[in-house]
């Protein structure tokens, strides 16, 4: 057993050199952070929802109910993992793992602070989007493998939605990239020295936020898991910690898209005074708060309306915005 | 009709009997082509309890708790209708005060029922928050009704020849405070929901019912009035003290209204405002006096013959048909419940719509499944 | 009673109607009671439909030795309610009204479910409230609740 670990460690060392230690420590920290972040976000969501809905939300476990999600997590862990008999076993079990794994990778390049970044890659933004695109495959896999019509419908909707909304998401990010002249997240933050890109690129910022809400399957775009239509959508048949992984991935995804938004449009770790990771986290959670607020305020769009919104409005606007940005930059420089 | 071997790309989807949006135990057998509905067949009877058979096995008095179990969201109205039917059959008239009390409670119950519909409908469309707002308002009504009737959901407050007990001193004040609160809330709902672009997109033009279809399927209640037919039994065949009160029948504009989900929503919201007016007036007009008619027998027994009584419940036309042989036990008691007819139009509305529309249309018909199944 | 009602004379003179009776008291809720031939019901239903009436409900009454079908029609926007009754038999189906009025579809299925009375020409006459494999009709007077009725959905329960 130990041999395998030491050999893997050797392989890592050979491949990455001294960076291996940073990577491993970073990933351990990221993994811990993902869990704590999800616990906090679930609590925040329930608390905010409660106050929006004339309730007070969780309040029994711990001060202000902060420990409620831990208790719920323990409950999820202790639940039986049910695999429906007609399900395709291997795919069914793999799907939640495959949903969860890619959400860890973006933490490698997220710039929490000026020196608080595991590794700054010159293709950082691409890395994030590439791995964000993976989870749709896993969702399709899970929905299909469940052998449940509701799950299948949910998975199909999810694929269509993710494909449609990734385009405006990428296009709006692209307009920032041409302005910063780099795909490295640190370079993008540094390019916003004087003025945040949200003021230079307001259209792209709005497009990004709309696309990101859809990309993370949040209301009013929570079509794949629309509980009043499809029961629970693609994860109808999942129970226990397998469902928990989907849940964890959803909340971590929320964190990632909000972090990318912060980096691209809101100046990353920079603030009016005392630059640092606190500014980054404050902006991220403020954005997430906005997303939560939207979720508990609006009804859900219909599937075809969602598609129309993406293909007929968001994508053309994003394209025009990108072209205009390119043109203006060409003229100015 | 359904269940033939499928040779094309369509497939069957069983929506219910356990499904978040069928509000109880309705089962829709849908044939889908992708997400588009080709055919739909409602399958009923999952909460059939045999109320009509129960009625034949016990006396009129002992059947008293049953009507409010049929439609548990408008229980008091069913209780009210049952008492009015019995009273008319026996030739008994309740004192004026009792009639006013019943009417106030029934109208409050109508508001409670519409509020629950409002909340549940928005929940069907994916908006969770209005549900809790509606429940907050409904809770006030339940507190008021609990104050006077002693129960919250299934009432046996109306009795043969009167009501069980008089209003409490706190009642008028509680009700007035509630009327003021709900008026403000209805204005809020109007800005938050009626003008919400997503809500309008989800309901406008969805599930339209023409006036011809509505007549053919004998729709009733708000579903019918949303098609532009202002048939309201409170106006057409006024019972009890309805003639004394000034209120409007809410319909959509004859030309603009197409009887879609949005029209049904507007009619129900309008009816809540009208019911508030009715309660307010009735509170002013309510006379002093006894609450039980003098000299009525404990056990009602209508003279031999058959009797029919119709009532405008929260969901529409409720008819009770009694056949009596002069004894305390009816020979036959038929309950014509509004949701039964309202649901029968669904197989006509669904083909060609999407799964998401199914939920929007089904919800807009305001069905209570135990009332359909009886 | 509404004497100006246009349907009043039409109904009295219809060949399907054996006997027409005005309301005997204000207590029964009907403006007009008709005794009719079952065969003439579709024609009568058409008449009602043309004159702004809708089918409120169809039901049956088991008098012990005979069964009777009851049709109740009511007018839109005016207080007018007519009851038509005709004797029914388990052997001989009555004509269905589905062709004329869509509302009759489920009403007839319910009568079939509860009484076992059949309707000729109904497109899909099957049980509506009880399970499809039930072998009894609960509102008939010969129905004994609690007795074992054969179908296996009453598992283990014997009276």
pLDDT tens, residue by residue, B184-242? 999 988 888 888 888 888 888 888 888 888 888 988 889 888 888 888 888 888 888 88
The predicted structure's pLDDT at residue B114: 92
Burial zone of B14 (CB within 10 Å; 0-12 exposed, 13-18 middle, 19+ buried): middle
**A306 in a domain, yes or no?**
yes
The Cα–Cα gap between B276 and B281 comes to 9
Question: Is A178 in the same domain as A302?
Answer: yes
Question: Is A166 in the same domain as A57?
Answer: no
List beta partners, residue B163: B158
pTM, full prediction: 0.85
Give the nearest chain B residue to C54 (CA atoms): B218
**A269 in a domain, yes or no?**
yes
**A290 in a domain, yes or no?**
yes
Residues above pLDDT 90, as percent of chain B: 14
**A61 in a domain, yes or no?**
yes
Angle formed by the axes of helices A89-100 and A124-145, nearest 10°: 150
Would you state the structure tokens that stand for residue B311, as one six-digit string? Answer: 């009532």
**Residues shown for chain A:** 333
Domain that holds residue A14: 1-78
Summarised one tens digit per residue, pLDDT across range B127-138 is 888 888 999 899
Summarised one tens digit per residue, pLDDT across range C106-146 is 999 999 988 888 888 888 888 888 888 877 888 888 777 66
In this complex, whether A and B touch, counting 3 or more CB pairs under 8 angstroms, is yes
Question: Is A74 in the same domain as A210?
Answer: no
Task: State whether A302 and B354 contact (CB < 8 Å).
Answer: yes
Interface test with A, best of B137, B356, B361 (most A CBs within 10 A): B356
The Cα–Cα gap between C62 and B208 comes to 40
The predicted structure's pLDDT at residue C153: 46
Using the Cβ of B249 and the Cβ atoms of chain C, whether some distance falls under 8 Å is answered with no
Peptide bond into A220 cis (omega under 30): yes
Q: Is the sign of the CA dihedral C14, C15, C21, C26 positive or negative?
A: negative
Give the nearest chain C residue to B348 (CA atoms): C102
- Give every CB contact of residue B232 below 8 A, 6+ residues apart in sequence: B225, B249, B312
B10-14, B254-258, B348-352, C113-117: least confidently modelled range: B254-258
A6-15, A51-60, B52-61, C76-85: least confidently modelled range: A6-15
pLDDT band at B179 (very low <50, low <70, confident <90, very high): very high
Asked if the model's pLDDT at residue B371 lies above 60, the reply is yes
Asked if the model's pLDDT at residue B102 lies above 50, the reply is yes
Summarised one tens digit per residue, pLDDT across range C15-29 is 777 777 776 666 777
Summarised one tens digit per residue, pLDDT across range A199-247 is 888 888 898 988 888 888 777 777 666 666 777 777 888 888 888 888 8
Question: Is A3 in the same domain as A146?
Answer: no
pLDDT band at C154 (very low <50, low <70, confident <90, very high): very low
Cβ A289 vs Cβ A48: under 8 Å: yes
- Give every CB contact of residue A121 below 8 A, 6+ residues apart in sequence: A108, A109, A127, A184
Asked if the model's pLDDT at residue C147 lies above 70, the reply is no
Average pLDDT over chain B, rounded to whole?
86
Question: Is A96 in the same domain as A177?
Answer: yes
Question: Is A138 in the same domain as A54?
Answer: no
Question: Is A69 in the same domain as A151?
Answer: no
Alpha helix positions (H), B125-248:
129-149, 171-189, 197-203, 211-216, 222-225, 233-236
DSSP summary character for residue A63: G
Question: Is A148 in the same domain as A252?
Answer: yes
User: Mind listing the domains of chain C with CATH numbers?
Assistant: 5-130 (3.30.460.80)
Last residue of a domain, one of A78, A109, A142: A78
Cβ B111 vs Cβ B272: under 8 Å: yes
Nearest to A299 among B125, B132, B133 (CB): B125
Asked if the model's pLDDT at residue C1 lies above 50, the reply is no
Would you state the structure tokens that stand for residue A240, as one six-digit string? Answer: 């226990």
Residues above pLDDT 70, as percent of chain B: 97
Nearest to B61 by CA among B297, B359, B360: B297
Question: Looking at chain B, which subunits does it touch, using at least 3 CB pairs closer than 8 Å as the criterion?
Answer: A, C
Cβ B130 vs Cβ B119: under 8 Å: yes
Question: Is A327 in the same domain as A185?
Answer: yes
The Cα–Cα gap between C103 and B343 comes to 10
Alpha helix positions (H), B190-221:
197-203, 211-216
- The tally of domains found in chain A comes to 2
User: Mind listing the domains of chain B with CATH numbers?
Assistant: 51-372 (1.10.645.10)
Find chain B residues with C-beta within 8 A of C73's C-beta: none
**A146 in a domain, yes or no?**
yes
Task: State whether A299 and B202 contact (CB < 8 Å).
Answer: yes
Last residue of a domain, one of A59, A78, A97: A78
φ, ψ at A53 (rounded to 5°) = -100, 30
Mean pLDDT by 10 residues, chain A (333 residues): 77 76 78 83 87 85 83 86 83 87 83 77 85 84 86 85 86 87 83 80 88 81 70 79 84 88 84 80 89 85 84 90 88 81
* CB atoms closer than 10 angstroms to residue B165: 14
Pairing of strands C32-36, C81-88: parallel
Asked if the model's pLDDT at residue B2 lies above 80, the reply is no
Cβ A73 vs Cβ A251: under 8 Å: no
pLDDT band at C159 (very low <50, low <70, confident <90, very high): very low
The predicted structure's pLDDT at residue A105: 82
Scanning A139-198 for CB atoms below 8 A from B yields 149-150, 153, 157
Question: Is A183 in the same domain as A217?
Answer: yes
Last residue of a domain, one of A25, A47, A78: A78
**Residues shown for chain B:** 374
In this complex, whether C and A touch, counting 3 or more CB pairs under 8 angstroms, is no
Question: Is A48 in the same domain as A122?
Answer: no
Please compute the mean of the pLDDT values over residues C62-68 and round it to a whole number: 86
Question: Is A109 in the same domain as A72?
Answer: no
Nearest to A228 among B20, B198, B357 (CB): B20
The predicted structure's pLDDT at residue C152: 47
Summarised one tens digit per residue, pLDDT across range B308-351 is 888 888 888 999 999 988 888 888 899 999 999 889 999 988 88
The predicted structure's pLDDT at residue B230: 83
- For residue B19, the distance in angstroms to the closest alpha carbon of chain A comes to 7
**A83 in a domain, yes or no?**
no
**Residues shown for chain C:** 159
Using the Cβ of B340 and the Cβ atoms of chain C, whether some distance falls under 8 Å is answered with yes
């Amino acid at each position: 057993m130990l041999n395998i670990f030491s050999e893997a460690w050797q392989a890592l060392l050979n491949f990455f050199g001294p960076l291996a230690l940073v990577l491993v420590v970073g990933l351990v920290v990221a993994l811990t952070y993902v869990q704590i972040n999800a616990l906090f976000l679930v609590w925040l969501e329930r608390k905010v929802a409660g106050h929006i809905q004339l309730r007070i939300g969780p309040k029994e476990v711990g001060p202000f109910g902060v420990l409620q999600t831990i208790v719920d997590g323990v409950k999820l862990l202790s639940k039986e993992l049910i695999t429906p008999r007609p399900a395709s076993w291997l795919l069914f079990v793999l799907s939640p793992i495959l949903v969860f794994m890619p959400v860890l990778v973006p933490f490698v390049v997220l710039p929490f602070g000026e020196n608080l970044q595991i590794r700054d890659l010159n293709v950082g933004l691409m890395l994030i989007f590439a791995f964000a695109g993976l989870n749709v495959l896993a969702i399709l896999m899970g929905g299909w493998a469940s052998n449940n019509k509701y799950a299948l419908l949910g998975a199909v909707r999810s694929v269509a939605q993710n494909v449609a909304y990734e385009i405006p998401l990428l296009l709006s990010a692209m307009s920032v990239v041409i302005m910063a002249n780099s795909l490295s997240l640190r370079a993008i933050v540094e390019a916003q020295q004087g003025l945040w890109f949200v003021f230079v690129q307001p259209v792209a910022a709005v497009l990004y936020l709309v696309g990101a809400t859809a990309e993370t399957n949040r209301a009013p775009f929570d079509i794949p898991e629309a509980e009043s239509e499809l029961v629970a959508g693609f994860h109808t048949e999942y129970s226990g910690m397998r469902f928990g992984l989907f849940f964890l991935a959803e909340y971590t995804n929320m964190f990632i898209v909000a972090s990318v938004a912060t980096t691209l449009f809101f100046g990353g770790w920079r603030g009016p005074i005392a630059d640092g990771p606190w500014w980054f986290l404050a902006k991220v959670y403020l954005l997430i708060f906005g997303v939560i607020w939207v979720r508990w305020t609006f009804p859900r769009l219909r599937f075809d309306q969602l598609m129309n919104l993406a293909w007929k409005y968001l994508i053309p606007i994003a394209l025009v915005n990108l072209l205009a940005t390119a043109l203006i930059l060409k003229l100015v420089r | 009709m359904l269940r033939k071997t499928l040779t094309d790309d369509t497939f069957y989807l069983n929506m219910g009997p356990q499904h978040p949006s069928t509000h109880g135990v309705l089962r829709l057998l849908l044939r889908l082509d992708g997400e588009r509905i080709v055919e739909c067949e409602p399958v009923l009877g999952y909460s059939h309890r045999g109320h009509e058979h129960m009625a034949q096995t016990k006396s009129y008095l002992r059947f008293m708790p049953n009507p409010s179990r049929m439609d548990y969201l408008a229980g008091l109205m069913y209780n009210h209708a049952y008492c009015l039917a019995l009273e008319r059959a026996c030739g008994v008239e309740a004192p004026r005060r009792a009639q006013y009390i019943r009417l106030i409670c029934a109208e409050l119950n109508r508001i409670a029922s519409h509020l629950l519909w409002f909340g549940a409908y928005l929940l069907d469309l994916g908006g969770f928050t209005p549900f809790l707002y509606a429940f907050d308002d409904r809770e006030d009504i339940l507190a008021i009704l609990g104050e006077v009737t002693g129960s919250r959901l299934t009432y046996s407050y109306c009795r043969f020849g009167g009501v069980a007990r008089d209003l409490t001193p706190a009642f008028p004040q509680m009700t007035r405070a509630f009327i003021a609160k709900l008026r403000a809330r209805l204005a809020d709902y109007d800005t938050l929901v009626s003008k919400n672009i997503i809500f309008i997109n989800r309901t406008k033009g969805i599930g339209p019912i023409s006036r011809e279809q509505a007549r053919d399927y004998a729709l009733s209640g708000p579903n019918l009035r949303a098609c532009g037919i202002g048939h309201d039994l409170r106006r057409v065949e006024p019972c009890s003290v309805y003639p004394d009160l000034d209120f409007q029948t809410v319909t959509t504009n004859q030309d603009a209204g197409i009887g879609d989900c949005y029209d049904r929503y507007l009619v129900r919201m309008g009816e809540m405002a009208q019911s508030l007016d009715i309660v307010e007036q009735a509170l002013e007009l309510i006379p002093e006096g006894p609450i039980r008619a003098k000299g009525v027998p404990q056990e009602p027994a209508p003279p031999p013959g058959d009797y029919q009584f119709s009532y405008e419940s929260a969901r529409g036309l409720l008819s009770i048909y009694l056949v009596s042989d002069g004894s305390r036990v009816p020979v036959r008691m038929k309950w014509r419940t509004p949701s039964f007819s309202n649901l029968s139009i669904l197989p006509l509305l669904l083909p060609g719509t999407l799964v998401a529309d199914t939920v929007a249309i089904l919800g807009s018909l305001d069905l209570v499944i135990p009332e359909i199944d009886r | 009673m509404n004497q100006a009602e246009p349907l009043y004379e039409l109904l009295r003179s219809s060949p399907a109607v054996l006997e027409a009776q005005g309301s005997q008291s204000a207590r029964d809720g009907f403006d007009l009671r008709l005794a009719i031939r079952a065969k003439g019901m579709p024609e009568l239903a058409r008449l009602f439909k043309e004159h702004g009436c809708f089918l409120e409900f169809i039901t049956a009454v088991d008098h012990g030795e005979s069964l009777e079908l009851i049709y109740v029609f009511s007018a839109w926007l005016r207080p007018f309610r007519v009851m038509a009754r005709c004797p029914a038999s388990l052997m001989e189906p009555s004509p269905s009204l589905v062709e004329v009025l869509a509302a009759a579809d489920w009403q007839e299925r319910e009568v079939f479910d509860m009484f076992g009375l059949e309707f000729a020409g109904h497109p899909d006459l099957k049980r509506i409230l009880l399970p499809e494999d039930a072998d009894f009709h609960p509102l008939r007077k010969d129905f004994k609740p609690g007795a074992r009725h054969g179908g296996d959905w009453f598992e283990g329960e014997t009276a």
